[in-house]
Amino acid sequence: MAKNKEGFEKSHEEAQLEEKVLYVNRCAKVVKGGRKFSFSALILVGDGKGRVGYGFAKANELQDAIKKGGEAARKSLITFATEGSTIPHEVDVAWDGARVLLKPTAKGSGVIAGSQVRAVLEMAGVKDVMAKSLGGNNPINQVRAVFLALQKLTSREAIKQRRGRA
């Protein structure tokens, strides 16, 4: 088995996860001796097969913020309904000021989306989707809106079962 940075063995699923830094913010606090910097990082983790998670963390050092964000992302992994290489239906979701619209597209059309939304969908393994980010452009709110949209997706079988047509 593969070993992580601490020397502990990690499971096969954890070894498959890919990590990506989406957004880093440097914050300065003016103190008596000068400026004191702190960092916040938005980290995305996914396996490209329908599992994706995000983490947001703050620390005094950039590497610590990225490490904490990666751990938080691994804890918040979600799975969602897919239909082949696309999503089963259209979904429109708002989180704070950010609003995201996801639409399924034909096979081979690719991921048509802006930067943060594109990163989440590619890490999740969605190959064909059209996304539009409406409203705010705060990266954290956009990512949260995409995750809420992915969680709202339901498969055709689940919808048929709910309607009693299974």
Looking at residue 11, its pLDDT comes to 60
Q: Is residue 4 one of the residues assigned to a domain?
A: no
Q: Is residue 2 one of the residues assigned to a domain?
A: no
Which among 100, 39, 26 has a CA at the least distance from the CA of 69? Answer: 39
Looking at residue 165, its pLDDT comes to 76
Q: Is residue 46 one of the residues assigned to a domain?
A: yes
| Cross-strand partners of 36 | 29
Instruction: Take residue 82 and report the two structure tokens written for it.
Output: 């897919």
> Are 102 and 159 members of one domain?
yes
Q: pTM for the whole thing?
A: 0.86
Using CA atoms, how far apart are residues 157 and 87, in angstroms rounded to an integer?
A: 13
Looking at residue 151, its pLDDT comes to 94
> Are 57 and 43 members of one domain?
yes
Q: Is residue 146 one of the residues assigned to a domain?
A: yes
Host domain of residue 142: 80-163
Looking at residue 15, its pLDDT comes to 62
> Are 37 and 107 members of one domain?
no
Number of domains in the chain: 2
Looking at residue 87, its pLDDT comes to 93
Looking at residue 8, its pLDDT comes to 53
Instruction: Take residue 123 and report the two structure tokens written for it.
Output: 């890490």
> Are 84 and 73 members of one domain?
no
Tens of each residue's pLDDT in the chain, 166 residues:
455 655 555 665 566 889 999 999 999 999 999 999 999 999 999 998 989 999 999 999 999 999 999 999 999 999 999 998 899 999 999 999 999 999 999 999 999 999 899 999 999 999 999 999 998 999 999 999 999 999 999 988 888 888 887 6
Burial label, 8 (beta-carbon count in 10 A; 0-12, 13-18, 19+): exposed
Q: How many residues would you count in the chain?
A: 166
| Cross-strand partners of 131 | 102
Looking at residue 58, its pLDDT comes to 96
Provide the CATH number for the domain around residue 49.
Answer: 3.30.160.20
Provide the CATH number for the domain around residue 87.
Answer: 3.30.230.10
Looking at residue 24, its pLDDT comes to 96
Looking at residue 5, its pLDDT comes to 56
